[in-house]
Amino acid sequence: MFSFIHLAAVALAAASIAPAQGQTPAANPFADLDKYIYPLAPEIPCPPVTTDTTDAPEVQPWADKAKALVTEWFPKVCQLLATEGWKPPKEVHLVFKRDIGPPAYTVGHTITIKVPWITAHPDDFGMVIHELTHVIQNYPNGADRPGWLVEGMADYVRWWRYEPEGPHPKITERNKYTDSYRVTAEFLAWCQHHENYHLVTELDRAMRHGEDPMPVFQKVTGKDVDALWSEFEAAQK
């Protein structure tokens, strides 16, 4: 039987021959395996997922798909982060509203999703994965949690685990690791591959314990974040 450990080993080996930026997913036979590279942590089952489409009943089919996605991916995201000993929420709540600013946002265990956004972008389920990551992060009050890093980690889970075939940003000299979202996610993915595969988990662990995550870069890789960024920038040329 092809065990989980064997699958992880094959996927890690496949990472060394990942497609170049812009290459079509079909040219990368290992693209799907990228979704299943996880630290070997115990699986945490998904709590009940509820949906509220009172404000837009017509999006219930989309909400049902989002609910199934959260149920499937909750345990997988937990395995990417430092969730040992973590108490999951009693439920995950998906609320659909017509009149909110961003495409989605998360407060505690509730993800609020903008109806006009999913109407215009019906395939954007990756946004749900990003917000689900915030549900699981849910760092304690008072934690030293740089916003750029929190968002970068959520985009890392989305773009390098859920949909690794998606578009990657073009990094230029104007960028910096604090740019958040996809830029920070690209940097974290590079550090994971070239330095230490457990970096994201350890960054999450520090913030989950209310600690400053910045020393983690030095602790895990032997290099501070600025040195890592310089190497990352050079690798983009």
CATH number for 119:
3.30.2010
pLDDT band, residue 165 (cuts 50/70/90): confident
Residues 130, 168, single domain; the answer is: no
Give CA–CA dist 171/186, Å, rounded.
9
Query: How many domains does the chain fold into?
Result: 2
Domain that holds residue 190: 141-235
pLDDT at 229 over 80: yes
Q: Which of 137, 158, 176 represents a domain boundary (last residue)?
A: 137
Is 80 exceeded by the pLDDT of residue 96? Answer: yes
Instruction: List, in sequence order, every beta strand (DSSP E) within the chain.
Output: 49-52, 92-97, 104-107, 110-114
Give the residue from 109, 137, 165 where a domain finishes: 137
DSSP track, 149-205: HHHHHHHHHIIIII-TTS--PPP-TT--GGG-HHHHHHHHHHHHHHT-TTHHHHHHH
Residue 124 has pLDDT above 50, yes or no: yes
pLDDT digits (tens, 9 = 90+) for 63-89: 999 999 999 999 999 999 999 889 999
What's the pLDDT at 127?
98
Query: Rounded to an integer, what distance in angstroms lies between the CA atom of residue 43 and that of residue 154?
Result: 19
- 100 and 156 belong to one structural domain: no
Tell how far CA 192 is from the center of its chain.
13
